[in-house]
């Protein structure tokens, strides 16, 4: 398994990620993950927002707010 600092050179396709507290682990290598709210592709090097509990990624703070209204 790969950790964020162990990522190989850029790849294509969608990655499979295990979201952890403050970090993530690449389960299946790829170049991006999909935002759970918008469906937008998020390059792994730009991934900043995710839910450990839901195991899903978000493209922006606005996407997080849409997923968790009133939080």
8 A C-beta contact, residue 36 and residue 64:
no
Q: Which of 5, 19, 8, 12 is nearest to 58 (CA)?
A: 19
8 A C-beta contact, residue 52 and residue 61:
no
- Evaluate if residue 7 carries a pLDDT over 80: no
The pLDDT of residue 64 is: 97
Quote the number of domains for the chain. Answer: 1
The pLDDT of residue 54 is: 97
Q: What is the pLDDT of residues 21-47, one digit of tens each?
A: 999 999 999 999 999 999 999 999 999
Q: How far apart are CA 62 and CA 21, in angstroms?
A: 20
Could you tell me the pTM of the whole model? 0.81
- Evaluate if residue 56 carries a pLDDT over 70: yes
The pLDDT of residue 39 is: 97
What is the domain range of residue 52?
A: 2-67
């Amino acid at each position: 398994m790969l950790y964020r600092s162990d990522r190989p050179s850029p790849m294509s396709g969608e990655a499979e990620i295990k979201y952890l507290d403050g970090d993530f682990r690449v389960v299946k290598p790829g170049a991006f993950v999909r935002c759970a709210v918008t469906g937008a592709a998020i390059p792994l090097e730009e991934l900043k927002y995710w839910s450990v509990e839901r195991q899903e990624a978000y493209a922006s703070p606005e996407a997080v707010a849409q997923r968790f209204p009133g939080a």
